[in-house]
Amino acid sequence: MKSRILYISFYYLFWLLFCVLMKPLFLCFHYQESLGYSLSECISVAYHGFSMDLSTAGYLSVLVALLVLMSSFFKSNGWLSKSIQIYTYTILALSLVLCVADLFLYKYWGFRIDATPLFYLKTPKDAMASGTMAEYVFAFVLFFVLYFMFSFSFKKLHASFFKINKVSKWTVLPMLLVIALLVILIRGGLSVATMNVGRVYFSHSIFLNHSAINPIWNFIYSLSKSDSFDTQYRYMEEKEANSRFLRMTESERDTTSLRVLKTDRPNVIVVILESCGSGICEAFGGEKNVSPNLTKMAEEGIAFTHFYANSFRTDRGLVSILSGYPAQPTTSLMKYPNKSQNVPKFPLSMKNAGYDISFYYGGDENFTNMRSYLITSGFEKIISDKDFEQKDMSEKWGAYDHALFRKVTEELDAQTETPFLKVLLTLSSHEPFDVPMRRFENRYLNSVAYTDSCLGVFVSDLKKSKWWDNTLVVLLPDHAYRYPDTLKNSDVERHRIPMVWVGGAVNKGMKVDRLASQIDLSRTLLSQLNMDVSEYKFSKNIFGEKSPEFAYYTFNEGFGLVTPRGVSIYDCGANLPIREDEVELTQDGKAYLQSLFDDLNKR
């Protein structure tokens, strides 16, 4: 009996030490942010995250405890030693894959690793495109060094502690108590509230709170989350949520006081600019000389100065733009083709009204289930990486932006059917920012400058074509980028993006200062085209005289609500406000999120 209890104690402590050591590794890896905090604050990361480490070690140990319990009925237990070693070395490798991947992904994503990467691994080439070769080499070296260190330590300690070699039925009851204790540790205690991310939050600093999270626990938790959307984000009675949602969205949003186009059947070209936040454009208060062409177009056309992205990933941003459907904090609608096929899409609305529609992208159309979504959006013609020559391809994502714009220009020259809608999604300004131009030392700014130069050539050529006088060009990003890097993923400015309408079909240039977001493009554009907008329940007509004025966005396990009255930013994982100008704004944001998941559940 004693040998079994002693071994389980050792085994649990091995995993607990592993979990504890991952925290200083994370802080050291992100030393540029860690240096901004005192030693006591960094020690607090380990202290406050310890309860989650206890839970994680319980998860990783409970199967071995069950095997040890079973061994009480066997005379020979050579199988047990081999089984534990195989299990441990396998779980150790998987755990280190998660921890090492988390170290590198955090600087790009701004949240600890969850099940999100599994979705992107359906197209592994694209999933790996964000990293540089140096990062992958470093990651592999770090993985093998850590794996050797922990596996060697386990092998030596296992040989010392494993003394289980006989039947011991008297061990059953103590072992059941040990397993019960592990379950208690896994759930985080005996209280009604089980272990959750909010348990380890202790600071006003998002980075310190994130540092306290155990990435293995976070991954396991995200896998266990239900896809039953009607059980998620329940904040209030359904009647109150519906009342707040309707008050936010239904105030005569289609009362149009302003016609900004010369015709209700213009040709439309929507250019979705990868990762271009307002910080890169002088016309929107950003950097000078990075995107002079976009700045010039903003001065010539209609510039939407208080416009926001609804999320931080392309797949979610694409749905927000084309469907007028809000992004979700921890999942992507594209992940569920059976649901994404049931949301409205303005390209399909335009196709049904007689438009010839096509989609252009230099990357893999199958990335994140994009193709299924595009097909249900009505696109019969989808241009992707397979339609470009090898000389036009970058090392990572696909065709360079100059090749993408050139492809569209060539097809415009051959265009016969009108009116037409062409949607372009650029990709060269996606990390690792591999572009055939060197103007700025900062790789991100350099990639944006390159895309802007390609855009400038495209619009210049378009102005010389026969299509210009009757064409509307809509320019907006899929999401912003964390520039400057002092921005947090939850910050309002992290999500502010430029939107510009330009072209011969535009009546006159102007600035539009109303608060709006990507989901409002659908209703706004279709209203200008005098098309039915009744199915776009989340979208608002920006030019509606009495249209509601707010912008809603999501980040990992959280949402932001920006209104003329103020801002609410809420961490759903911790169930705590990050910023709360008014309590009522937080309640409105919760009602909006709850209503979104109610709607998603019905799709």
Domain hosting 59: range is: 2-224
Confidence of residue 197 (pLDDT cuts 50, 70, 90): confident
Residues 298 and 436 in one domain: yes
Model pLDDT, residue 252: 58
State the Cα–Cα distance between residues 201 and 227, nearest whole angstrom.
26
Instruction: Please state, rounded to an integer, the average pLDDT across all residues of the chain.
Output: 91
- Compute CA distances 364 → 427, 475, 521, whole Å: 11, 22, 25
296 Ramachandran zone, left/alpha/beta (phi>0; psi -120 to 50): alpha
Q: Quick check: 47 pLDDT over 60?
A: yes
Residues 103 and 150 in one domain: yes
Instruction: Give 500-525 pLDDT, tens digit per residue.
Output: 999 999 999 999 999 999 999 999 99
Model pLDDT, residue 603: 85
Tokens of 71: 């061994």
Q: Quick check: 432 pLDDT over 80?
A: yes
Q: Quick check: 121 pLDDT over 90?
A: no
Q: How many domains does the chain have?
A: 2
Domain end residue (candidates: 547, 570, 589)? 547
Model pLDDT, residue 480: 96
**In terms of residues, how long is the chain?**
603
Q: Quick check: 163 pLDDT over 90?
A: no
CB 31: neighbour CB atoms within 10 A? 9
Tokens of 603: 């799709």
Residue 551, strand partner residues: 562
Q: Quick check: 460 pLDDT over 90?
A: yes
Residues 299 and 175 in one domain: no
State the Cα–Cα distance between residues 384 and 365, nearest whole angstrom.
6
Model pLDDT, residue 401: 97
Model pLDDT, residue 338: 74
Residues 431 and 297 in one domain: yes
The answer to whether 508 touches 261, Cβ cutoff 8 Å, is no
CA angle 353, 357, 363 (to 5 degrees): 150
Residue 570 CA, chain-centre distance (Å), reads 16
The answer to whether 187 touches 195, Cβ cutoff 8 Å, is yes
Q: Quick check: 129 pLDDT over 70?
A: no
Instruction: Give 297-340 pLDDT, tens digit per residue.
Output: 999 999 999 999 999 999 999 999 999 999 999 888 888 877 88
489 domain residue, yes or no: yes
pTM: 0.80
Q: Please give the full DSSP string across 567-590, using - where no structure is assigned.
A: EEEEETTTTEEEEES-HHHHHHHH
State the Cα–Cα distance between residues 593 and 591, nearest whole angstrom.
5
CB 120: neighbour CB atoms within 10 A? 18
Model pLDDT, residue 132: 76
297 domain residue, yes or no: yes
The answer to whether 183 touches 28, Cβ cutoff 8 Å, is no
Kindly state the average pLDDT of the residues 530-534: 93
559 domain residue, yes or no: no
Residue with tokens 């999501």: 554
123 domain residue, yes or no: yes
The answer to whether 302 touches 501, Cβ cutoff 8 Å, is yes
Q: Please give the full DSSP string across 510-536, using - where no structure is assigned.
A: EEE-S-EETTHHHHHHHHHTT---TT-
Residues 314 and 417 in one domain: yes
Tokens of 417: 């059917």
Please give the helix or strand (H or E) that residue 202 lies within, else none: none
Residue 32's contacts (CB-CB under 8 Å, 6 or more residues apart) are: none
Model pLDDT, residue 127: 61
Residues 122 and 21 in one domain: yes
Domain end residue (candidates: 547, 565, 598)? 547
Confidence of residue 413 (pLDDT cuts 50, 70, 90): very high
- b/e for 184-194, b at 16 or more Cβ within 10 A? ebbebeeeeee
184 domain residue, yes or no: yes
Model pLDDT, residue 192: 59
Identity of the highest mean pLDDT range in 112-126, 240-254, 519-533: 519-533
381 domain residue, yes or no: no
Residues 214 and 264 in one domain: no
Residues 365 and 457 in one domain: yes
The answer to whether 498 touches 307, Cβ cutoff 8 Å, is yes
Residues 266 and 204 in one domain: no
More confident residue, 286 or 3: 286
Q: Quick one: the chain helix, strand, coil %, rounded to 5?
A: 50, 15, 35
- Backbone φ and ψ for 323, nearest 5 degrees, come out as -110, -10
The sign of the CA dihedral 245, 248, 252, 253 is: negative
Q: Quick check: 119 pLDDT over 70?
A: no
Question: In CATH, what number is assigned to the domain containing residue 530?
Answer: 3.40.720.10
Residues 6 and 71 in one domain: yes
The answer to whether 162 touches 10, Cβ cutoff 8 Å, is no
Q: Quick check: 226 pLDDT over 60?
A: no
579 domain residue, yes or no: no
Domain end residue (candidates: 505, 525, 547)? 547
Residues 410 and 523 in one domain: yes
Per-residue HEC secondary structure of 275-330 comes to CCCHHHCHHHCCCCCCCHHHHHHHHHCEEEEEEECCCCCHHHHHHHHHHCCCCCCC
The closest alpha carbon to 401, from 375, 373, 430, belongs to: 430
Kindly state the average pLDDT of the residues 425-442: 94
Residues 206 and 274 in one domain: no
Confidence of residue 223 (pLDDT cuts 50, 70, 90): confident
404 domain residue, yes or no: yes
Model pLDDT, residue 175: 82
- Compute CA distances 366 → 116, 334, 384, 386, whole Å: 16, 11, 9, 11
Confidence of residue 114 (pLDDT cuts 50, 70, 90): confident
